[in-house]
Structure 1
Amino acid sequence: MSVNPELRKLDIDIPSQPQSLVQLSLLMADEDINMQAAASLIENDMALAAAVMKAVNSSLYGLKGRVQSVHQAITYLGMREVAAITFEMGLRAAFPPAPELEPLWKRAGQRGTLMGKLAARLSLDAWGAHSAGLFEECGKAVLFRHASDHYRAMLRATDNDVDLVGLEHAGFGVSHDALGAALCESWGLGAAAVASVRHHVVAQAALALPAAEGRRSISALSVLAHVLMQDPGRLDEAVRAVAPAADLDEMLVLRAARQAHEQLADAQRAGRAALH
């Protein structure tokens, strides 16, 4: 997909999708996914394969024993989970390493996992939801690469995305949510995932889904994941606010959110225990 022409005028570079991820996207779009071809694709990219194995064996997934191959990772986690990890690593590799971006990538992994698990439990588009979670804050990485010193000062000046968006508009004429959506489009993510990334700041701040968006279920999952990661005590309030707007059953959504949150918390506890 082509990037919004208005963004091109700003001379802010949108990283192109690595060829291996282009091929993986095509495989994931097939209803009958060729597991063998997907595993081989990942394994043939040494950097991606090494990064995926490191991620799969981290505390986040809480697996017993070390996973020795991409095929084994797919057996334990499923193709969607492994593909999402691969996309996360490819996304990180598109930007220079920087301490300021490490919290962003950590949140991306947790958010993507939460949104993917929520979608799977609710019979929604789990691949689209996981991808939207991974890419939600990627516009910040775009701006950091574009003007590191300037953007570093913005990140230090505020602790919330609503204020940050205002600073971004003042400094660059564009905000990270719009840039993130542009990156999603250029990397071939679906329309619902793109819309979720584009509107996530307002949706999360107001606990309200964008009226103009058609399929709003992924935006709803973005709001719920944000609440679970930032303020779990507001989960009931968030579910009441966004589930009806996305045509989702409130009780099913609340149950799925609690289960996904508990599963992630258990994995994190297991990881901390393994370090002691």
Structure 2
Amino acid sequence: MSVDPQLRTLEIDIPSQPDSLVKLSLLLAEDEVNQQAIAALVESDMALAAAVMKAVNSSLYGLVGRVQSVHQAITYLGTREVAGITFEMGLRAAFPPAVELDLIWARAAQRGLLMGRLAQALGLDAWAAHSAGLFEECGKAVLFRHASDHYRAMLRAADTDADLCQLEHTGFGVSHDALGAALCESWGLGPDAVASVRHHVVAQALLELPAPPARRSVLALSVVAAAMMSMPPSIDDVVPQIAPQADLDATLVLRAARRLLEQLQAAEAHGRG
């Protein structure tokens, strides 16, 4: 998919999707997903496979026993979550290593997991939600790669993502939410994921969903996940405001969010044990 010509005039490069993720996207698009083919694809790239296995065995997933292969990971976690981890590692590999980006990727992994599992519990598009969570802050990585010293100072100066967007517009003529959405489109993510990445800053700051009504469900999960990550008790206030805007049942969303928080706390405790 091509990048918005208006963004091209800014001379900010958006990285191309790695071949392994192009192939994975094609496998995921098949009517009957072939788990063996997905495992073989990931394992054919030794560096990618090693990164995926390290993530799968982290405390975030809290699996009992150590997973020894990608196929075993798919058996335990399911195709979507292993595909999400693979996309996460492919996204990380497209950018230079940096402490600032490590923080972004750590949040991406947790957010993708939260949004994907919330969507699954609510009968929504779990892959769109998971990928939206993974890519939500990827525009920051694009700007960091473009001008690391300048952008590092912006990250330090901004108290909120809304403040950061204002600094980005002043310094670069574009904000990370727009760049992130452009990268999502370029990498072939679905329109619900693109809309969530594009509007997440405004939605989380104002608790309002500006995306078209048909694209609001994933964006709503972004707002809920942000509350779960920053201040879990706040979901009791956030969910009743956000859920109706996406035609979601607030009671069901709250129940799913609370259950998921309990599961992740148990997984974290198991990982420390």
Q: Same fold (TM over 0.5)?
A: yes
Q: Equivalent residue of 1:216, what SS?
A: helix
What residue in structure 2 maps to residue 52 of structure 1? Answer: 52
Q: Which runs of 5+ in 2 are unaligned?
A: none
Task: Assess if the C-alpha contact under 8 Å between 2:192 and 2:216 holds in 1.
Answer: yes
Q: CA deviation at 1:236?
A: 1.7
Give the whole-Å Cα distance in 1 for the aligned partners of 2:167 and 2:269.
36
Give the whole-Å Cα distance in 1 for the aligned partners of 2:92 and 2:213.
28
1:74 aligns with 2:106: no
Letter in 1 for 2:112: G
Higher mean displacement: 108-117 or 212-221: 212-221
Q: Deviations over 1:147-205 (max 9, x none)?
A: 00000000111221010000000000000000000000000000010000000000001
What residue in structure 2 maps to residue 239 of structure 1? Answer: 239
Letter in 2 for 1:253: V
Q: Deviations over 1:228-251 (max 9, x none)?
A: 001222202211111111111111
Sequence identity (%): 73
What residue in structure 2 maps to residue 121 of structure 1? Answer: 121
Q: How many residues align?
A: 273
Letter in 1 for 2:254: L
What residue in structure 2 maps to residue 22 of structure 1? Answer: 22
Q: Equivalent residue of 1:194, what SS?
A: helix
Matches within 5 A, 1:86-235: 86-235=86-235
Q: Judging changes above 3 Å, is the alpha-carbon distance between structure 1 residues 120 and 39 closer, same or farther for their aligned structure 2 residues?
A: same
Task: Assess if the C-alpha contact under 8 Å between 1:49 and 1:70 holds in 2.
Answer: yes
Letter in 2 for 1:66: R
Q: Equivalent residue of 1:214, what SS?
A: helix
Q: CA deviation at 1:215?
A: 2.2
Give the whole-Å Cα distance in 1 for the aligned partners of 2:103 and 2:265.
18
Letter in 2 for 1:48: L
Q: CA deviation at 1:211?
A: 4.8
Task: Assess if the C-alpha contact under 8 Å between 1:195 and 1:213 holds in 2.
Answer: no
Task: Assess if the C-alpha contact under 8 Å between 1:84 and 1:130 holds in 2.
Answer: yes
Letter in 1 for 2:162: V
Letter in 2 for 1:236: D
Give the whole-Å Cα distance in 1 for the aligned partners of 2:60 and 2:28.
23
Higher mean displacement: 195-204 or 35-44: 35-44
Q: Which runs of 5+ in 1 are unaligned?
A: none
Deviant stretches of 4+, over 3 Å: none
Higher mean displacement: 186-195 or 252-261: 252-261
